[in-house]
Amino acid sequence: MIELVILVVLIVWASWYLLMGRRITGADDKVVSGDEGTHSLVVYFSREGVIPDGIDAASSASPNSNQYEAESDTEAAAKMIAQLTGADLFQIRTDRYYRSAFWGTAATAWIEEALNLRPGLAAKLESLDKYDVIYIGYPVWWFNAPMAVGTFLESYDLTGKTVVPFCTSTDNGIDVSMDYIREVSGSATVLDGYRVHNSSLEDGRWFGKIRNRYGGYCSESG
């Protein structure tokens, strides 16, 4: 009996430690503006933006494997889509940091996914009314999109909008996360997702494949 109590206490303490990271301060709801009059928005979530020290390329945070810069593959892909389409750009950040150690991030992500939690966000956009197309990008965590993506999408009425998911992963295709994305996108039209391979990130040919698949949704006019 004592062993069981100790085990429960340890589990509760570990969960509290993993879920109650230091608060993120100074985040705002500003977007990086694209072309004037654009009706497209690129939204992305990346571990780089939610750990205190940024990316540690040696310990795994999904660094940009081609350029070895302090920028994740997800962020690099999101910025490229924004540049090619003229869309606005916004980064999702949770209201608390994840642990810097990769195992800490992984454990927190597992708890969030297992319990279907919705982490709080450090900042949200007031409205998505001006956008018709929303690109949503993320790394694959535990065979799913990070739960913060759900927090963001569920915060808005997406009726009449088109959601275009893309992910970065070396192991899993985006299919493992599509049921979740459709669930949290409400009544939006959700197109089939696309995985951006890190080996093709620099040359941009992957975006041509997205454009061929989605046609007018990926026009450079935004």
Work out the average pLDDT over 165-191: 92
The CA distance from 17 to 205, in Å, is 42
Domain 2-215 has CATH 3.30.2000.10: no
Comparison of pLDDT for 116 and 27, the residue scoring more: 116
| pLDDT of 66 higher than 50 | no
Task: Name residue 196's beta-bridge partners.
Answer: 168
pLDDT band of 102, cuts 50, 70, 90: confident
Model confidence over 107-149: pLDDT tens digits? 889 999 999 999 999 999 999 999 999 999 999 999 999 999 9
Comparison of pLDDT for 67 and 209, the residue scoring more: 209
Q: Which of the listed ranges 51-60, 100-109, 133-142, 212-221 does the model predict with the highest average pLDDT?
A: 133-142
| pLDDT of 18 higher than 90 | no
How distant is the alpha carbon of residue 36 from its chain centre?
Answer: 25
Going from the C-alpha of 142 to that of each of 23, 26, 62, 113, 171, the distances in angstroms are 24, 29, 14, 8, 11
Please indicate, yes or no, whether the overall pTM of this predicted structure exceeds 0.85: no
pLDDT, position 169: 82
Comparison of pLDDT for 114 and 221, the residue scoring more: 114
Closest C-alpha among 70, 54, 72 to residue 139: 72
Tokens of 81: 């889509």
Comparison of pLDDT for 137 and 220, the residue scoring more: 137
Comparison of pLDDT for 55 and 79, the residue scoring more: 79
pLDDT, position 68: 38
